[in-house]
Structure 1
Amino acid sequence: MVHRLEPLVIRHTHRLSSPTGPVGEGAVAARQFDAALMSVGFKLSAELLERLSGLSEGTVVFTAVRTLGTVRAMVGDRVRHNAYFIDFPANVPDTFDFWMRCISEALADDATRAGTLEQLSEGVVNLLTLPSYGRYQHTYEEMLAAHDELIAAAGDRMTALHLGGAAEDELTALYLALAGSSTPLGEEALRDLAVLAGHCAHGPQPEAIPVRENRAVVNRARLEAGSGLLLDTVTDVLRLACALSDGDVTLGEPTRFRGLSRPVRRALLAGLDSVVAAAPAKLSDVAVHREAWKRLGERLHPHEYPRWPHSADVFAVARGEKEARSFDSRVEELLGRNDITGAVKLLESAPGRLFRSLDRLLRAALTQEERNAVVAVAERVAPEVAGRVVLSVREHLHNRGEETGERRVFVNRLGRAWVAEDTRPPVPPAERKRLITAFDAEIRRRLPDPGHLLIDPDVLDVALPLSGKATAAGLGVLPRGSVSPVDGELLRFFVYWKQTSRDTDYDLSALMLDAGYRTVSWLSYTHLTDVDGEHSGDITEAPDGASEFINLRLGAVRGAFIVPQVNLFSGEGFEEVAESFFGFMLREGEQKGRPFEPRTVRMKSDLRGPGRVALPLVFLRGSDGRWRAKWLHLYLKGNPSANRVEGNRVSVAMLVRGIVEREQLTVRYLTELMAGGATATTVWDGETVPEGPVTYIGLQRPDGLHPESRILTPENLRDLIPA
């Protein structure tokens, strides 16, 4: 069981549980293991290599086999990446010439000649009817033989795996970190938490579980283990019911509730009864999810359990038989009467809601007295508001300038994005400045004493991970809005997908924009080559998986922005396919190798979102001529089918502009606040490591840090957000 869960530790922490086994001469096998890891862009830390070298050869081999499979999947090397054009990026033909060749081959084929001639007579040829279009014309092995071996370069990615503790200790530590996270987890991390919660149900538990969906996942494990439930609102019970039905614990999508056993029904009804008995006012939360409560009531049969009368009240409210006005309706009534003072007084009892309403309250306030009241209450309740909410509102106010008429970008929790004109009047500048100052002071107060602060400068422009939903699962992935350097001469995008049950065609494209966000050029299946680079060719079905690539010479790229995108042309959506992911590689000009070389992969992220057009990130050319990546993790609604870069370039440009010009709170912001309380602050030079304990914040953990150091990297950067 423990061995089955160890991949979770590797993925989330880049640590390998301390290998156990007979003492022996494992040095040779350990070096071979390290070499195999390096071929896919990973390596053993010095401490881990030393530990393995002292174990038996069989133990090292057993560890290597398990670990290599995990890291290869992390980087996208678990699958075979073929390219339509066998020599890609060499010898990619002109698009028109390629299409003419496909037509000629169809005319030479007895089975397709008549149909092709008929199409030609009508003046339009459907490329998908041509036998040589959209399907690999060579095997994976033939493609490998057509390429030279990759020559290693100093700039290749190298991700270190560090020595962890005992396997059970590592699993427990990961469980406590995920369950106790102060920010919502992403979809993959939430699934991993569910697995860990079941394994760790009888072990140590976090002191607090502030995120409600995390609590639902843990409550399911506690219920199945016979432990007490953690409930303090009626919605906690609804989320738990969703978890028991493998539904959406965020309550964003309807859950189809399953039949529940009598013991489970009793536990849920007893939990509801205790919550309402302790605080009847919490019935007001029922109306927010009225329909879900009605459907759950059909499964719980509360009328069969008269000993829990307060639980029956929940369903009476849902059915409209009992009145319990929601908190939001009371606030709206006061605002509808322009009673700002009354609304603020009511919201003071719900600090989180007050903070999320500050923009609206300040715009609605008609007098200086009302504005002063809003700010005064916000300052007073700030210590009671979750850190991520304080930071989110602080970022929001920072971006609310005095100008109106700008474009406003909306992004929902699933990453679906759209743009609209911002017609809101500005937030009063004096109150805006006063609130920002107060929030900075509150965050500074909550930050722990860092001691000696050691900072990797490359992490400073990483956006604060205020929600795991703003980051896709994968390797080298950063939160939405983060900016990271791009060092290399060749930039290569890749997409891989495998259909579930019907032919599916994803199209990788790259849109180049100038400084005014106007189209300069693009690469796609309709435009295979340009001075900027090459497209690997269109694949139109993926029963066994398919890959597409775009190769760009950064020095030749025209324009200021590169926007890679994945368009769904036909078939299954990103949430329907068996698997789909996007990434990019960086190479030096002289590096050859296969179209996909794992050690050159800088980022690989899952594509699992709504919409028909995926926008993982955008590349920006700075005034210094250097390129940087800004992370998007966005999805456009697109068309039901036949999405193409030519058709969405205007909407993509508008969205990119809105994201690029928005300023995120970054690690730089928090480290500047932390530096005020640090005994020393050092910018890491990439080599020198202090002797004593430090608080290290960086993109990768260095070797040789003191064992009592606190280490914060993208894998656990959420721990930087104060509770």
Structure 2
Amino acid sequence: MSSIEELVITRRLRVPVDSRAVGDGEAATRQLDAALLSVGFACSPALLLRLAGLPGEQVIDLGVRVLAAVRRLVGDHVRHNVYFVDFPADVPETVDFWASLMRETVPTFNLLDLPGYGRYQHTFADLVTAHGEFVATAGDRVTVLQVGGTLQDEARELYLSLAGSEVPLAAEDLAALRMLAAFCPGETPSRIPVRENRAVVNEVRLAAGLPLAVDTVTDVLRLACACSGGDVTLVTPARFRSFRRPERRVLLAALDAMKPSKHADVLRHREQWKRLGERLHPHEYPQFPRAAELFEVARGVRQVRSIEGRVELALTAGRTEEAAGLLERTPGALLRRLDHLLRAGGGSAVLKAAERAAPDVSGRVLLSLREHLQNRLAPADRTFTNRYGRAWTTADTRQPLDEGILAHVLAMLDAEIASRLPDPGELVVDPDVIDVALPLSGKAVAPGLGMLPRGSVSRVDGEVLRFFVHWRETSQRTDYDLSALMLDASFERPTQISWTNYRSSFATYSGDLTEAPEGASEFIDLKLGKADKSVIIPQVNIYAGEEFNEAAEAFFGYMSRDSTQKGLPFEPRTVRAKSDLRGSGRIALPLVFLRGDDGGWRAKWLHLYLRGYPSFNQVEGNRVSTSQLVRSIVERRYLTVGYLVGLLREKASGQGQVTRIGLDPSAGGYTPSTLHELIPA
């Protein structure tokens, strides 16, 4: 399967059908649909009809590729064995299990070194034999695949959607954007608002000899980083490669076209500019004098003062109105610092500056400010999350903002955001999407099945909740531990399920695996009706070995099922969500399960990572930090799809087009994979 075809199938749940050949593929189509149903997918009626009209051998070839793609999407491309073959039945008490191991061998000071511990004691075939046949129910997940156009058309649509995203993309999406840009070299997106996305597109355009989309000096620096395999976010300094003379001319010409007023931007990344100058040799190109001046600024030979520096001087001297006036030259920066300016006593002058700046600020910044300020009404612990999902909390010691001023700013933001939304015509909204958080950043959310932005809330059905982790090491022994921290509704009275505590009154652990040369899976099974805790926080701890982004493979997900369904520990038709683990911390917190006042359970998405220790992380060692961090996320008021729906309903004429917003991709319209297209420019 081509990587582009897999992207289209897994990201858009559409099957590209390129060929116009005619044949009798009905039998092969029925076989494909049956195979897809076994992993929780099905063909739409339109797709069935289209495939049935193709030659049978072509349907078989396409079907093999489609089945492989969706099995990987759901996590069924590997064999999920477990340590205790009868899991969730016949899992022993923890002490009894350790005692039985010690009776079989010479006592050791390191229990993990006991023979038979942490290694599969049976084959996957043994596991299959030990479990009854899975019983399908109406509540099992069925994800419908739609018929697509040609591969070129589908790739073009996905490319323009990612390139035109108003929000920063996850690392996986940036990699997809790079592939799609190379696949669609003749396509020119009308807008590429996010600078990192622009760098990826420019990398492909530079290689193809096409004009670049740059309007700041930092755009050129990001492009150079992209060409060198470096970090386009500029957080990690790049090791610039040697550029060919034609490439140097293009990059220097782009810099030379910048106005001298842009040169102050060099000061933000001075060291990286110095290193880039060593590769571009601007002194060899006298036809680009302004580019040479820019590198003189980086080396300190030519002095410039940035607006940021002048703003800091004004704030230090207590001249808040002057600082606001300077920031009006960069409207986005003004609104990002609005809270600070208001606390510094800016008053009406700052409010008027914000009102003047708002029309020139991106919709994402307006929405982010709106979310920030609505949380200032009910201060709680502050939560900080970096672009890699690493998170921490601290007490909020900021001075409260005046409620009247807050109300004024929130009303101004609502009016500006509403003015940018189109008339949706007839608006059809799935109630389940109302509590999905707006994707103001996609960086911490790895693509996958059922993934929602941080802060989103989704309903959890079924009698049994089972979450799982699978990993496969690359070059050294790697031991991940699936655990669960369980708390009461006040985030107190902690208990846990892990390799040190196999069972509770309602939870069961599948057993600890400490070696994964061929891959290992761990599960935790929870009978929700018997739960005596209201907060359940699954986590994956790196006990030893490779980071999540170093392992050959690492992913987490959860299933919900009825207690009578039997089957294997992993049944793809019951998987509700699955995504790769690839954060920079050593403790992953994908989501939290919460029991509401009505007794129903909901999931709130976290996508967080804790730093942890270099080795031996376990749930007992991070109870306090985990509970504080998760509580801050649970109590935070995220800006949701419901907020935009409210504004859209005020503008809906009820005539013309139908705008659909929901969780089911088969219904069309805006779905989780395209919610970023809802963010106004």
State the distance in 1 between where 2:41 and 2:513 align.
Answer: 30
User: In 2, distance between residues paired with 1:39 and 1:517?
Assistant: 39
Matched, 1:555 2:529: yes
Do residues 649 (structure 1) and 623 (structure 2) align? yes
Which of the residues 382, 388, 402 maps onto 1:414? 388
Runs of 4+ in 1 over 2 A off after TM superposition: none
Aligned to 1:396: 372
Residues 657-696 of structure 1 aligned to structure 2 (within 5 Å): 657-680=631-654, 693-696=657-660
Q: Does 1:223 align with 2:206?
A: yes
1:667 Cα deviation after fit: 0.5
Identify the residue that residue 16 of structure 1 maps to in structure 2.
15
Q: Is the 2:424–2:657 contact (alpha carbons within 8 Å) kept by the matching residues of 1?
A: no
- 2:13–2:665 CA contact under 8 A, matched in 1: no
Shift of 1:244: 0.3
1:246 aligned to 229, 235, 238, which one?
229
Amino acid in structure 1 at the alignment position of 2:36: L
Residue matched to 1:179: 163
Cα distance in 1, alignment partners of residues 188 and 223 from structure 2: 18
Provide the rounded CA distance (Å) in 2 between the counterparts of 1:29 and 1:431.
66
Equivalent position of 1:100 in the other structure: 99
Deviation at 1:259, TM superposition (A): 1.9
Match of 2:665?
701
**Structure 1 residue 3 displacement after superposition:** 4.5
How far is the alpha carbon of 1:409 from its aligned partner?
1.0
Task: Return the offset for 1:201.
Answer: 1.3
Q: Using the alignment, how far apart are the partners of 1:28 and 1:220 within structure 2?
A: 46
Q: Is the 8 A contact 1:523 1:529 kept in 2?
A: yes
Structure 1 residue aligned with 2:251, among 265, 268, 280? 268
For 1:200 and 1:506, how far apart are their aligned partners in 2?
40
Read off the aligned partner of 1:100 and give its amino acid letter: A
Give per-residue Cα distances to partners, 1:370-389, cap 9 Å, x unaligned. Answer: 31111111112211100010
Q: How far does residue 693 in structure 1 lie from its aligned partner after superposition?
A: 4.4
Change (3 A) 1:193 1:431: same
Question: Quick one: which of 507, 532, 535 aligns to 1:533?
Answer: 507
Asked if 2 retains the 8 angstrom alpha-carbon contact of 1:39 and 1:599, the reply is yes
After TM superposition, give the deviation of residue 520 of structure 1 in Å: 3.6
Q: Which amino acid aligns with 2:660?
A: Y
Which among 312, 318, 326 is matched to residue 332 of structure 1?
Answer: 312
- 1:208: how far off? 1.1
Name the CA distance, whole Å, in 1 between partners of 2:555 and 2:407: 42
Q: CA deviation at 1:5?
A: 1.5
Q: 2:273 aligns with which of 274, 287, 293?
A: 293
**Compared CA separation, residues 40 and 654, structure 1 to 2 (3 A):** same
Answer yes or no: is the 8 Å Cα contact 2:478–2:515 preserved in 1: yes
| 1:512–1:558 Cα contact (<8 Å) kept | no
Contact between 2:437 and 2:639, CA under 8 Å: does it hold in 1? yes
Corresponding position of 1:718: 676
Question: Which deviates further from its counterpart, 12-21 or 577-586?
Answer: 12-21
Partner of 1:573: 547
Between the aligned partners of 2:545 and 2:36, the Cα distance in structure 1 is 36
Pairing partner for 1:455 from 402, 405, 429: 429
* Separation (CA, whole Å) in 2 of partners of 1:32 and 1:443: 49
Q: What per-residue deviation string (whole Å, max 9, x for no partner) do you get for residues 81-125 of structure 1?
A: 1101111111101111111112222x2xxxxx3xx3xx3xxxxx3
Give a deviation string over 1:544-593, Cα, whole Å, max 9, x none.
11110000000111121000000011111112111101000000111111
Report the Cα offset of residue 326 of structure 1: 2.0
What is the aligned partner in structure 2 of residue 146 from structure 1? 130
Corresponding residue SS for 2:491: coil
Q: Give the alignment's TM-score, normalised by structure 1.
A: 0.93
Q: Map residues 189-588 of structure 1 onto 2, 5 A cutoff.
A: 189-202=173-186, 204-275=187-258, 279-365=259-345, 370-401=346-377, 403=379, 406-588=380-562
Contact preservation (8 Å) 1:95, 1:527: yes
Contact 2:146–2:666 (CA<8 Å) still a contact in 1?
no
Query: SS of the counterpart of 1:552?
Result: strand
- For residue 622 of structure 2, give the secondary structure of its aligned residue in structure 1: helix
Counterpart-to-counterpart distance in 1, 2:375 and 2:636: 7
Give the distance between the partners of 2:142 and 2:188, measured in 1 at CA. 35
Output the CA distance in 2 between the equivalents of 1:649 and 1:589.
30
> Which AA in structure 2 matches 1:698?
G
* Structure 2: segments with no counterpart, 5+ residues: none
> Aligned to 2:521, what secondary structure does the other structure show?
strand
**Please, which moves more after superposition, 301-310 or 190-199?**
301-310
Q: CA deviation at 1:296?
A: 1.4
8 Å CA contact 1:525–1:537 kept in 2: the answer is yes
Q: How many angstroms apart in 2 are the aligned matches of 1:305 and 1:702?
A: 56
- 2:389–2:444 CA contact under 8 A, matched in 1: yes
SS of alignment partner, residue 565 of structure 1:
strand
CA contact (8 A) 1:287 1:318 kept: yes
Q: Would you say the 8 A contact 1:407–1:419 is kept in 2?
A: yes
Distance 2:576 2:533 in 1: 23
- Shift of the alpha carbon at 1:28? 1.9
1:275-307 CA distances to partner (integer Å, 9 max, x unpaired)? 2xxx10111100101111111122212222222
Give CA deviations for 1:661-710 in whole Å, capped at 9, x if unaligned: 001010111011001121339xxxxxxxxxx841110001345x7xxxxx
Distance 2:234 2:278 in 1: 18
In structure 2, distance between residues paired with 1:261 and 1:26: 52
Which structure 1 residue ranges, 5 or more long, are not aligned?
Answer: 108-112, 120-124, 682-691, 706-710
Q: State the identity %.
A: 58
- Does structure 2 conserve the Cα–Cα contact (< 8 Å) formed by 1:511 and 1:519? no
Q: Residue 520 of structure 1 contacts residue 558 of structure 1 at CA under 8 Å; is this kept in 2?
A: no
The range that moved more, 407-416 or 17-26, is: 17-26
Aligned to 1:495, what secondary structure does the other structure show?
Answer: strand
Secondary structure at the aligned position of 1:374 is classed as helix
**Residues 160-194 of structure 1, C-alpha deviations (whole Å, 9 max, x = no match):** 11111121111111111111111111111110000
RMSD across aligned positions (CA) = 1.3
- The answer to whether the 8 A contact 1:21-1:56 is kept is no
Write the distance in 2 (CA, Å) between the matches of 1:68 and 1:189. 22
